[in-house]
Structure 1
Amino acid sequence: MSSPPEHFLDSRPRTSGAPGTQGMRILVAGLTGQVGQGLLEACHASGDDAPSVIGLVRRRPRAAHIMGESVTQQVVGDVRSAGWGLSETDLDQLGEIDAVLNLSGATDWTASHAALDQVNVLGAVHGLDLSKALSERLGRPVPYLSASSVFVAGLSDGVVVEDLLPPNVDRTPYELSKWTAERALMARARRTDHPLALARVGGVVGNSLTARTTRRSSLYQLVSRREEDKRLRVLPAQRGARVDTLPRDVIGESLLRMLGQGRRNGFADWRSGTIAQVAAGERAPTLAALLAQLESMDTGSRYCVPRLVPASRSMLEMVTRVGTRYVRWSRQTGNRLHGLRYVTVDRVFERTRFAGLTGGWLPAVPLETILRVTFDLHEQHPTAPVANLPLGRFQ
């Protein structure tokens, strides 16, 4: 995905205080993905307070300019393998590790159950086993932070709590893989009292400053460009539906703050497992407000903003779940149908525990920033007034 010009202005309020991760050494899987890139961007923004990152990479080490200056070491492995594929020699070379982070994930919503489970379920469980193995080698607990998704909620509306959610037949294979991973990790952490934090990440868009992104969000996929042959002219949604998205660097900062706060209290709040929803929560805009603001900001009329059509939860389930189960769509159409689930439901993701795990800090990003990043909209600067010219020559 090409990167848009670096003319995006960040209008979100800057928070004071550092994450508190200076001197930490963290082993991270999934650095080339959207959330992983956001973590590296947050590390760069943290300066001297940033942790030292050891990146787990598949097949071969990446070039230094791709991984960034925060990555001080790379180790080849695979989250789908036991122990992430690391040998005893690899573990010896890692040295001191203060935390293990699993940011890897299969996010193609049209992928098979098997492909999703290999990464999203087995990869997550293998990461917890690795953190426990490192704990035994180092003689101290090595906490484990694993990225989940707020969309384990399926089509549940209302308030989504920061706890394990009950079974539900309406989950897609992607949602089911993340839900299964959560239950497996929490069960293991409760048996062993191992420090574990599950970060349920909401929708992810590009960097809040540069708009760089590795993939387009579900929101972008549902708003057609005017030059497209098949425009999406209507969008079924519940009344009051909210769109919960955050820029990837803000999510990265959130994870660093969770690590820093955990470090301050010896990760006591992570013992036996905890769940935090890294999301906009009650500050997430409604879909109606978002589309109206997009229409006003899209001065070049590049996008065909769809008209909202009231829909019930059962209708959304029929369109997204049944429609993808019995019909073989293209990957683009299938992902669009799945994307409906993430922007058309009236719900709020609770953030109380998230605030507690960051020392009271919560991200707040203006709607204008989200739209500029998502849709490559340029910052509009006021036109300078034209000086009054003498009219004598025209008289």
Structure 2
Amino acid sequence: MTGASEMQQWAYGNGWSALPGGRPAGPPGTRGMRLLVAGLTGQVGQGLLEACRDLGADGPEVVALVRRRPRAAHVFGPTVTQQVVGDVCRPGWGLSGPDLDALGRIDAVVDLAGTTDWTASHAALDRVNVLGASHGLDLTQLLGDRLGTAVPYLYAGSVFVAGLTQGSVAEDLLSPDTDRTPYELSKWTAERALMTRARRSGHPVLVARVGGVVGNSRTGRTTRRSSLYQLVSRRDEDKALRILPAQRGARVDTLPRDVIGETLLRVLGHGRRTSFADWRHGVIAQAAAGERAPTLAAVLAQLESVDEGSRYHVPRLVPASRGTLETVTRLGTRYVRWSRQAGNRLHGLRYTSVNRVFERHRLASLTGGWLPAVPLETVLRITFELAERPPAAPVAELPLGRFQ
């Protein structure tokens, strides 16, 4: 390990974080914070809880917004000290005056709730992804009025609001585009509405665009399969994907859920130290692998080399233009009725087959210079349930007398 990039890639595989210069990163600064969080049962929500547990006493205290009824204590673990029943689809997340009184001090509101089924209807996606986001900001402003201080709002968006944009994707609002799917459009509409309101009011708002999500970096535990998994077929499947259309240089931007959880905690902790000055009037950051994301070709080649049991059929890459990807992934689902599995597979092409890099300059500034990074082998192990390779045994040094 000699350079900063090698150090970054190695860091998470060995259980610690690093700054771009290779220095170990300290705690995120969330000790003593009290967060109101919606969406803790989802993939990113579970990752946030895992990151909090990893921090121990340095982690924040979490108040969970739950639907219908409180969960048993073991569902969330000791990080969640309070539960409040509500619904992100209702104004103010469905919380009454007495509910708000019972919350006590809240240092930030975090909205991780979202519908991620790419085949869901426009109405279902907008109800949670758009209205839920707007209602969350309403609630945050109401809490601020009651507490006498501005309460920052963190909304988990998606890097895939970029649609089929190629090249470098900036951490700024993106222009309207006709090639977005209903899911992409719902997340794009939500972040645009939040940024518009924040710029008018000056309220501290952060839209954290999250990239692809896989399970926990250590245990592999997951709540759903990633788009990458859906595009590689098991050999025992009846209909295996033999070819995979993709642009040359296409990247797979994926992070384990606990790494994303730590990323969110670090932007919250750094924001707290700076009184959330950088969040005021709205800000967008991309919680993704960015320039460290591997190419799809490298991912498939590495999978083929580590899949010792040959359980997966690795498809052959076929060069495809943006127009081809748009036809296959968007128009194909508009005019043909697919099963949920087939529809999500087609949508998954959009998230692994485009040649682009999600910028992370603002993310670095909002974390004090820290950036998430994981080795490719770790992502493959989690995604495809591959056995972790034991460390290589040291080889005894051979005598060099005969060469002297």
TM-score range, shorter chain: over 0.9
Q: What is the CA-CA distance between 1:50 and the residue it aligns to?
A: 0.6
Please tell me whether the aligned partners of residues 39 and 252 of structure 1 are also in contact (alpha carbons under 8 angstroms): yes
Structure 1 CA distance for aligned equivalents of residues 48 and 205 of structure 2 = 18
Question: Which residue identity lines up with residue 280 of structure 2 in the other structure?
Answer: R
Normalising by structure 2, we get a TM-score of 0.92
Question: Which residue identity lines up with residue 28 of structure 2 in the other structure?
Answer: P
Determine which of 361, 364, 378 is the counterpart of 1:355: 364
Against the structure 1 CA distance between its residues 369 and 36, is the aligned structure 2 distance closer, same or farther, given a 3 Å change threshold?
A: same
Q: Deviations over 1:166-198 (max 9, x none)?
A: 000000000000000011000111111000000
Q: 2:280 matched to 1:278?
A: no
Structure 1 CA distance for aligned equivalents of residues 221 and 72 of structure 2 = 19
Structure 2 CA distance for aligned equivalents of residues 200 and 12 of structure 1 = 26
Normalising by structure 1, we get a TM-score of 0.94
Determine which of 368, 383, 404 is the counterpart of 1:374: 383
Q: 2:256 matched to 1:247?
A: yes
2:373 matched to which residue of 1?
364
Could you say what the CA RMSD is over the residues aligned between the two structures, in angstroms? 1.2
Question: Which residue identity lines up with residue 315 of structure 1 in the other structure?
Answer: T
SS at match of 2:371: coil
Question: Which residue identity lines up with residue 351 of structure 1 in the other structure?
Answer: R
Structure 1 CA distance for aligned equivalents of residues 12 and 66 of structure 2 = 31
Structure 2 CA distance for aligned equivalents of residues 267 and 251 of structure 1 = 20
Question: Which residue identity lines up with residue 378 of structure 2 in the other structure?
Answer: T
Q: Deviations over 1:15-40 (max 9, x none)?
A: 23001001111000000000000000
1:11 matched to which residue of 2?
13
Determine which of 212, 220, 235 is the counterpart of 1:226: 235
1:113 matched to which residue of 2?
122
Structure 2 CA distance for aligned equivalents of residues 267 and 349 of structure 1 = 24
Please tell me whether the aligned partners of residues 12 and 364 of structure 1 are also in contact (alpha carbons under 8 angstroms): no
Q: What is the CA-CA distance between 1:10 and the residue it aligns to?
A: 6.0
SS at match of 1:48: helix
Q: Deviations over 1:65-110 (max 9, x none)?
A: 1111100000000000000000000000000000000000000000
Tell me, which stretches of 5 or more residues in structure 2 are unaligned?
1-10, 18-24, 395-404
Determine which of 184, 199, 203 is the counterpart of 1:194: 203
2:141 matched to which residue of 1?
132
The number of residues matched between the two structures is 377
Q: 2:100 matched to 1:91?
A: yes
2:306 matched to which residue of 1?
297
Please tell me whether the aligned partners of residues 208 and 286 of structure 2 are also in contact (alpha carbons under 8 angstroms): yes
Q: What is the CA-CA distance between 1:384 and the residue it aligns to?
A: 7.0
Q: What is the CA-CA distance between 1:230 and the residue it aligns to?
A: 0.3
Structure 1 CA distance for aligned equivalents of residues 379 and 232 of structure 2 = 14
1:258 matched to which residue of 2?
267
Structure 2 CA distance for aligned equivalents of residues 13 and 134 of structure 1 = 37
Tell me, which stretches of 5 or more residues in structure 1 are unaligned?
1-8, 386-395
Q: What is the CA-CA distance between 1:64 and the residue it aligns to?
A: 1.0
SS at match of 1:300: coil
Give runs of aligned pairs for residues 148-163 of structure 1, distance below 5 A: 148-163=157-172
Q: 2:112 matched to 1:103?
A: yes
Determine which of 163, 184, 191 is the counterpart of 1:182: 191
Q: Deviations over 1:35-56 (max 9, x none)?
A: 0000000000011111100000
Please tell me whether the aligned partners of residues 12 and 375 of structure 2 are also in contact (alpha carbons under 8 angstroms): no
Structure 1 CA distance for aligned equivalents of residues 295 and 15 of structure 2 = 21
Please tell me whether the aligned partners of residues 148 and 182 of structure 1 are also in contact (alpha carbons under 8 angstroms): yes
Structure 1 CA distance for aligned equivalents of residues 359 and 390 of structure 2 = 36
Structure 1 CA distance for aligned equivalents of residues 14 and 253 of structure 2 = 16
